[in-house]
Chains A and B, each alone.
Chain A
Amino acid sequence: MALQHLEFSYPGIPGASIPDQWFHSGVVGSGDMEVLLTRKEQQGKVTVKVCTPVRGFEQVWDKVLERFVLESGCGDLELEINDNNATPFVVGLRLRQALQDARGGELA
């Protein structure tokens, strides 16, 4: 019943982080999520913490996140996600948007 905490780690590209120390994006609406991206020098690794009310979808998260890291070419990052029943499609979309905005220096 309580919230579920998941952790993941992926090899990324050293130095391919975000320009600012941190960047926030998204709203925890129903079927949506927010993500806080933080610069972290960790040999290119991308670490992810997910907090979600949904149980039993670790493998789906793993696949979506792995694909995002691979395709976006990011690295040296920590992602903290608060999820409220977002679909894998929405998760992928939000993460790509967040990274793009973080790199473009757009208004939150």
Chain B
Amino acid sequence: MNYQEGQNHSFLEATARERANLLVDEGSFTELLGPQDRMTSPHLPALGEAVSFDDGVVTGVGRIGTRPVFLISQEGRFIGGAVGEVHGAKMAGIFRLALEAYEAAAKAHPDNLDLYRPAVVISFETGGVRLHEANAGLLAHAEVMDLIQDTKGKLPVISLIGSKVGCFGGMGFVAAATDAIIMSPQGRLGLTGPEVIEQEMGKEEFDASDKSLISRTTGGKHKYIMRDCNILVEDKVADFRRALCELLAQPYEKVCACRRIGSYELVKEQMDLVALAAELNPGDAKDVWRYYGNEHPEQLPELETAEFLRVVHRRPKEVR
């Protein structure tokens, strides 16, 4: 597949390596700790589980315009994109390199840093911790959260969510902690997987096999209405890339303004939202959509993305 063809492909169907190559400028991607390093999981063989040379995540560096872009791209086909020791260390490694690159850029270009400021881009496709090496995966999540805090005030971290597995478990809050989130309507973002909610609340309250319910609760359109997704795009590689490039063309402060958590002020805003949750006690996400002024919420899931963006009412910044 060549670069131009690849841009027209579905983001949902693209492999992690395709996404990594196609999101940055043509030919600019260098994979770090790629398959030729054969860095497979040391823990899976004893459990009789298949291994992969990249441990389910493609990591590397590319360019968008003048800026270095440090990429993490998860592969959902390999054990659901779950995070084990190697996978987690590769994520942490990318953040470390990006932070070092920031220091270098800040020194070399103090006057026009925005032109050279590195970025971290995560193309999520994961259910969180990999059970087969659960403890190592858990510790890696904490490291990534710590490193995200280190990036604050220095470089943007951008989440792309539009792959089959979605972004759940611990990686759900990792995504929430990043600066900006780009999703397609097919993207899924949450903390607790549908099966666990069903187990907790009963099938009458939450039927994990109901695909449209899952979509209404965790999908890109819902997250866009709630302002938990900043930019909603079509399920096309080129559309994700365009949104990413446009976002990175903004001054850093503009990207930071996309955050939903990460300061006392934002926590207070979220607390207002939680008060609203208690008050509305919605039986379905549609109740919240209606509350925010969408008169025919049942029609929203069916709309084409462009039409949806034209007619939808989102939550106002002041929550109510």
**Interface residues, chain A, CB within 8 Å of chain B?**
1-3, 22, 24, 27-30, 32, 34, 36, 51-53, 80, 82-85, 106-108
Contacts and interface: CB of A to CB of B under 8 A. Distances in A.
Contacts of B35: 24, 34, 36
Contact of A3 (B3, B16, B34, B50): B50
Interface stretch (B41-49, B201-209, B240-248, B294-302): B41-49
Nearest to A21: B36
A107 B77 contact: no
Contacts of A36: 35-36, 38, 53
11 contacts: A2-B45, A3-B45, A3-B49, A24-B34, A24-B53, A28-B51, A28-B52, A34-B53, A53-B50, A85-B50, A107-B21
Contact of A34 (B45, B48, B49, B52): B52
A108 B50 contact: no
A52 B49 CA distance: 8
B282 to A, nearest CB: 36
Interface in B31-75: 34-36, 38, 40, 44-53, 75
B291 interface: no
Given A3-B45, A28-B78, 15 more contacts: A1-B48, A3-B51, A22-B36, A24-B53, A28-B50, A34-B52, A36-B35, A36-B38, A51-B50, A51-B51, A53-B48, A82-B51, A107-B3, A107-B18, A108-B21
A25 to B, nearest CB: 9
